[in-house]
Structure 1
Amino acid sequence: MISIIFNQGIIPKDVVERPINNDFVLVSPDKVLLTFIENSVYLGLLWVRPWTILGSIGIGKIEAVGVDVDPTLQGKNVLILPYSKKYGGIGTEIDGLLTEKAVIPDDAIVTLPENISDKVLLYPFVSIATQIVDLVKGEKVLIIGSGLLGLLTYQYLLDSSIDVSIYTDIPGKKIQGVKEVKNLEEGKWDIVILSTMRGWARYIAERLITEDGRIIVPVFMNTWPPTLPSRSIRIYPKKMDGLLQKTEKISDKFFSENIAYSDDILSSIPTSKNGVIVNVKKALASYANSSLIT
C-alpha cells in the first residue's frame, strides 16, 4: 500500500495495510488538503513518530467499517477532520490520509451530501473560527499567524464587528485587506489568538495581553503544544451543526487566493499557498513504479 510517511523526512513508502479497529472506518482518500500541519512536519516544527502516515484533512469514500460503527456509513462520502477526541491528531499522532487505504476513527468523520465543493476542506478551520467568534464579545483581538486559520478567523471576527488585527509570522509577507500590526510592542490586547506553530509566539503571548486578557490556542493534537502560557484556552476542530453550509459561503476569491491544486504530494510540501489540495489516487499512482519507493 503506497503511502506518504515521515521517517527522517517525508517519503513515499510501500507499507502494510492497517487493520480496522472497532470504532474506525476504512476510507479510500480522494483529495487531501496540505496545510501548515504538513509544512510544520517538513520544517521540524512538529515532531511525529517515525513511520506515521501523513495527511490530516481530506475527503474520501468509506469502504468498510469497524464492528462498533454504523454499517450504513459504508459507501458514504466523508470529510476527515484533523483531530479525533478519542485518539488525537490524524496524520500526526495516528496514521493519516496520504495513502491508498486510510483507517480513521469514526469521531473524525463528517458525512457529506452530493455535489459539495472543495471548500468543504476548510471545515476544520471554519469550526475553530466559529468557536472563537462565540468566545469573543466586544474585545480587542490580535491574531498571530496569517495562514488559512488566521485569515478565516480574522474575517469571521470582522463580520461580527470585532476590533481585530493580524500579525504575520512570516518575514516579508504582505497581506491585503486586513488591519495589520507591524510591531508587537504597539500595545496590548484583550485576546491573543496563536494561529501559528512557532514556539516564540507562545513564549511572548502573556506579554501581549491585558491584565484580564486571554490567550486562545487552536489545537490539532493531544501532545502539541507541550506547554501553554497561563490563561490559555484550547480550541479543537469539531463537528458543528450548519458548518457545511458555512463553508460553501466562503468566497471564491478567498479560496483561489489561498488554495492551489497539485497531483504531486512531495513537491507540494512545503505548500506554495496557504493550502494545496492534492489528488491522492493520481499522486500515489505516480510513485508506484518510482525509484523513490523502497
Structure 2
Amino acid sequence: MDLSTIKSVSPNRNTFKKIMALLFSLAVIADSFVVITNANKAAKDTVDVLRVSDSGGIPAHTVLTEKQLQKYAIIRKEYTDDMVLAEHMDEAVGKFSKYYLRGNGVLYKDQLAAEVPKKNEWLYKLDDKQEVLTLPYNFLEAGGDILMPGDRVRIRVSYEVDKPAASNPNDIYSVSQGKTTKTEVLFDSIVVKDMLNGNSHSIYEVYKEVLKLSEDKRQTVMKSEDFLKNIQPRALLLEGSSDQINYYAKFKSMENKSLLITILSRSDSQAIVDQLPTLQNEVESWIDKQNGN
C-alpha cells in the first residue's frame, strides 16, 4: 500500500466554528434547563395571602367579613411584608376598610383600621389655645372654587367712623356721600380649616366621601349638579387664637361693615388641593364644561 498517495487532513477554520457553535448551543440548552427548573420550583413555592373576593370591591368604612375575602396563592418572590396572610384571616375580619378596596385585589395591612375614622378629625388635633370661627363667605367674590381647606387668607374689615384718626398709617380711610369708612386688617394670616356648603355640611368631608368611591362611580358623582353644588362654600371655618377671635368680636355687632378676603400663597400651607390634585383637576374640568367654557 502506497501511503504517499493519501493526503493529510488538518482542521480548518470552519470546523473550529462548528465546534464552538455546538458547544454554545449545549451551554444555552443547559442554562435554559436550569432556568425552567428554577421557574418550576418558584411556581410551586407560593404564599397564601388574602384578597377581595367580591368583584365589585368593598366600600370604604365597611366591616370586613369572611365572605368578602378569599385565600389567594402568589409566588413567594411577589410577596411583601405588608400583605395580609391567609392564616391571619381572624385579624382582618371585623376590621374596617379605610377606603374603597378594588375587587380581586390583594389585601394590605395599611388598608385596614380598627375603628371608623372620625369626621372632621382635625378638630381632635386642635390646640387648646386655638379656636374655630365660622365666617360667612361669598364664593363668587373671593376666589370662587379656588379657595380650599388648608389655604391661608388675609381678611380686611371696612366700617363707618365719625372721622379719620391719626393712629395707624396702614389704616385706609375713604369718604363717600358724607360718610367716612375705615378699612383695616382684621386677620393678617389665618388658616381655613374647612368650609361649609349651603346645607352647612363640611366640604372637606364631601371630597373625602368622593375618594371612597370606585373610579367609575366617582366620575358619575362628580358630573352631577348635586356634587358641584355641595362643594360651593357659604361659610369658612377659621382656626385662630383667642386674641384674633376677640378682635373679630369687636366688629361682629357693627352695622354696615364689610369683609374683604384675599388668598395667600400656598407655599407654606397644607391645602387639600395638594393632597388631592387629580380630584381637583377633575372638578375644575366638570365646572368648565357646565359653564360652557
Bin for the TM-score computed over the shorter chain: under 0.3
**Structure label with greater radius of gyration:** 2
Which one has a larger percent strand, Structure 1 or Structure 2? 1
TM-score (norm 2): 0.27
TM-score (norm 1): 0.27
Which one has a larger percent helix, Structure 1 or Structure 2? 2
Where relative contact order (Cα < 8 A, 6+ residues apart) is larger, the structure is 1
